[in-house]
Structure 1
Amino acid sequence: MSFFGLDCFRKEERELERKLRANDREYNLSFRYATNAIKTSKYNLFTFLPLNLFEQFQRIANAYFLFLLVLQVIPQISSLSWFTTVVPLVLVLSVTAAKDATDDINRHRSDNQVNNRKVQVLIDRKLRSEKWMDVQVGDIIKLENNQFVTADLLLLSSSEPLNLVYIETAELDGETNLKVRQALPVTGDLGDDIEKLADFNGEVLCEPPNNRLDRFTGTLAFSGQKYPLDNEKILLRGCTLRNTEWCFGLVLFGGPETKLMQNCGKSTFKRTSIDRLMNVLVLCIFGFLACMCIILAIGNYFWELNKGSQFTVFLPRLDGNSAAFSAFLTFWSYVIILNTVVPISLYVRTTRGLNTRA
């Protein structure tokens, strides 16, 4: 089997189940699990312009005025300067692009701030301060009171009696009341003994990444025994440790594979119900404009047939031009002349109104 085929097989296997071993980065890296770095931004320096323009031209009005601009550079049908269309179009696109760029810069800053947070990770039998984005699946990390949970963790031990921890899940489900999680007795015996934690080589077989916040299934294999895992033994990224001096956890899912990020979904171009309504209205207006231009083109056809020859002294025809071809050019000329039937300011006014109400 080729390397590409093997990679595809592994990817498919990861979607069926997740397998990891504590304190064994080399083993876990063979599955190519995602790191704990997150990315909520949509663009970078090179993709911003093409992607943003592609998204903006999904608005029918923008695509319509781009089409008009193309028509206006054809001298046989253009009766207006292309300048009259390109200026408002560029202005609208630039204002929207500036707003999208500002939003995305804020996303980049937020991503950098989160990815560069510090957490204590057990590496080479010592606790080391590492950035969140450098945490790997299978690492054992230490959390302290009031710290955010770094990734989706299997709770191993805590400072509280019976290895309980108290967490606040407001960022996940909006609930401010504290919830209780409890470690397995077999891992709770590890306590905060670094040597015991460093020797821990338990293997976890569990469900693949998903967005279900209230359910988790898996098993922990350790010392020849298997122990069932459920949601009561899991700490999810986005939670905050409360009223608990410390706890240790084993990273199961990192970064984009955490349940928090799985629920966030991919950043997409915002399209509100008002945007969809505007698209429908623009299509209706464009249909009305097309009907007017067809009627005028038909009128031009009959005028050319009956009266056009009488005006060739003042309006000479090009060789080979027929009445039908003249009507065809007239249709597109009237599309340009009557372009104000579809006002490009429609979107600007709508956006301004939404921002005012907000």
Structure 2
Amino acid sequence: SGSLRGAEYPLAFPAFTWEVRANDRNYHKQFKKRFAFCLSKQKYAGNAIKTAKYNVFTFLPLNLYEQFHRMANIYFVFVILLQTFPAISTLPWYSLLFPLSCLLIIRGVRDLIDDIGRHQSDRNINNRPCEILCGKSFRRQKWCDICVGDIVRLRKDSLVPADMLLLCSSEPSSLCYVETSDIDGETNLKFRQALLVTHQELVREESMAAFDGTVTCEEPNSRMHSFTGTLSWRGQTYPLDSERILLRGCRLRNTDLCYGLVLYAGFDTKIMRNCGKIKRKKTKLDHMMDRLVIIVSGANTSCSASL
């Protein structure tokens, strides 16, 4: 693991805008980014995730909004509105409202049950235990408590909670073996190795608590097998690549202990960037039904106009 001269860094890596300082939560909390109009949020995301679509307040409006993307439901509402005019009414309007309401309720209950499952899954993941360096010792906390810049200790067979720079491990030369089956489906073990300088210097909890290195790297992205950055520490700059990184979702194998510096957390991690947002899905049958409803309603309108 060679070093780069600090003076050459700005010219060699001009696109690096993601800066992580070890053991310095206050530094990362001061940065915000704009995401809508005048609204802003923290630049460095927390490690808690939320994949559920609804909450107590948004379930009813969002679910009705999604259901009325089906042309059949809009058509029935239009027919019900027409039945409120006595001059053209053939049936009581409430006789058509009842079956539509039943359909909306059944689909709403189904969506609610699915989303409750997502909430439960989110809670289980966010509440998984981990060991975070607090002060001069590691304390048992939850995944959702992890922040960018924290140093986390992992034990054998544990899942990696965030994208981390491997600092050292219990293996010779700080090798670390991981299984990536949850990411790419491959069951064969892959090895990662820490920088020689961190392997030699970070040998005790006291030295990790005093570690003040700065990682400057690329912004969060979805490229699973690439990473480029540098570690600056004690006046020296060391290049980093994907062989130094432990990704969220990997499982530690054949390694008793390893220590990592959190670079990306929560939805900034590569695996979560690849998941994307939950989108409203429509089957081919739904698309065909929408077209048929438009054709039928258009034909009825033409017939009414000719009469």
- Deviation per residue, 1:31-67 (Å, 9 max, x gap): 2311000000010011000000001101111111112
Residue 192 of structure 1 deviates from its aligned partner by: 4.4
Report whether the alignment pairs 1:112 with 2:123: yes
Choose the corresponding residue for 1:56, options 67, 72, 79: 67
**Within the alignment, does 1:152 sit opposite 2:163 as a pair?**
yes
Q: 2:144 aligns with which of 110, 133, 154?
A: 133
Deviations 1:168-187 (A, max 9, x none): 11111111111111111111
* Alpha-carbon shift at residue 76 of structure 1 (Å): 2.9
Question: Residue 104 of structure 2 aligns with which residue?
Answer: 93
Aligned-CA RMSD value: 1.5
- Number of the residue aligned with 1:25: 25
Give secondary structure in 1 for the equivalent of 2:215: strand
Moved more, 73-82 or 170-179: 73-82
User: Which residue, 39, 51, 54 being the options, matches 1:43?
Assistant: 54
Q: Deviations over 1:255-277 (max 9, x none)?
A: 11111111111122222333222
Which residue of the partner structure matches residue 337 of structure 1?
none
CA–CA separation in structure 1 for the residues paired with 2:229 and 2:299: 61
Alignment match, 1:261: 272
Q: Which has the higher contact order (CA 8 A, sep 6+)?
A: 2
Deviations 1:131-172 (A, max 9, x none): 111111000000001101010101110111121111111111
2: CA distance, partners of 1:192 / 1:115:
29
Check if 1:172 corresponds to 2:183: yes
- Please tell me whether the aligned partners of residues 158 and 191 of structure 1 are also in contact (alpha carbons under 8 angstroms): no
User: Whole-Å Cα distance in 2 between the matches of residues 225 and 277 of structure 1?
Assistant: 63
Secondary structure of 1:219's aligned partner: strand
**8 Å contact kept, 2:16–2:229:** no
Structure-1-length-normalised TM-score: 0.76
Residue 16 of structure 1 deviates from its aligned partner by 7.0
CA distance in 2, matches of 1:172, 1:220: 26
Over the matched positions of the two proteins, sequence identity in percent amounts to 51
The structure with the greater share of residues assigned to strand is 2
Partner of 2:209: 198
1:90-117 residue CA offsets vs partner (Å, 9 max, x unmatched): 1111111011000000000010111111
Structure 1 residues 214 and 126: CA distance shift in structure 2, 3 A: same
Quick one: distance in 1 between partners of 2:18 and 2:236?
19
> Greater share of helix residues, 1 or 2?
1
When structure 1 is superposed on structure 2, of 102-111 and 272-281 the one drifting more is 272-281
Give the Cα separation in 1 of the matches to 2:291 and 2:187. Answer: 42
- Asked if the contact 1:153–1:234 (Cα under 8 Å) also holds between the matched residues in 2, the reply is yes
Say whether 1:281 aligns with 2:292.
yes
Do 2:16 and 2:217's aligned partners in 1 also have CA atoms closer than 8 Å?
Answer: no
The aligned residue for residue 35 of structure 2 is: none
TM-score when normalising by structure 2: 0.88
The structure with the larger Rg is: 1
Q: Does 2:230 correspond to 1:238?
A: no
8 Å Cα contact 1:156/1:190 also seen in 2: no
| Preserved CA contact (<8 Å) 1:42 1:268 | no
Between the aligned partners of 2:124 and 2:154, the Cα distance in structure 1 is 18
Superposed CA deviations along residues 302-329 of structure 1, whole A, max 9, x for unmatched, are xxxxxxxxxxxxxxxxxxxxxxxxxxxx
Q: Which runs of 4+ in 1 moved over 4 A?
A: none
Q: Number of matched residues? A: 282
| 2:240 matched residue in structure 1 | 229
Report the 3-state secondary structure (helix = DSSP H, G, I; strand = E; otherwise coil) of the residue aligned with 1:181.
strand
Q: Distance in 1 between matches of 2:55 and 2:257?
A: 38
Q: What CA distance in whole angstroms lies between the structure 1 residues aligned with 2:295 and 2:203?
A: 69
In structure 1, what is the Cα distance between the partners aligned to 2:201 and 2:128? Answer: 26
Q: Does structure 2 retain, via aligned residues, the 8 Å contact 1:121–1:135?
A: yes
Shift of 1:191: 4.6
Q: Deviations over 1:229-273 (max 9, x none)?
A: 111111111111111111000001111111111111112222233
- Superposition deviation, residue 129 in structure 1: 0.6
In structure 2, distance between residues paired with 1:190 and 1:284: 73
Secondary structure class of the residue paired with 1:23: coil
Unpaired runs of 5+ residues, structure 1, are 1-14, 298-358
Are the equivalent residues in 1 in contact too, given 2:148–2:263 (CA < 8 A)?
A: yes
Give the letter aligned to residue 84 of structure 1: S
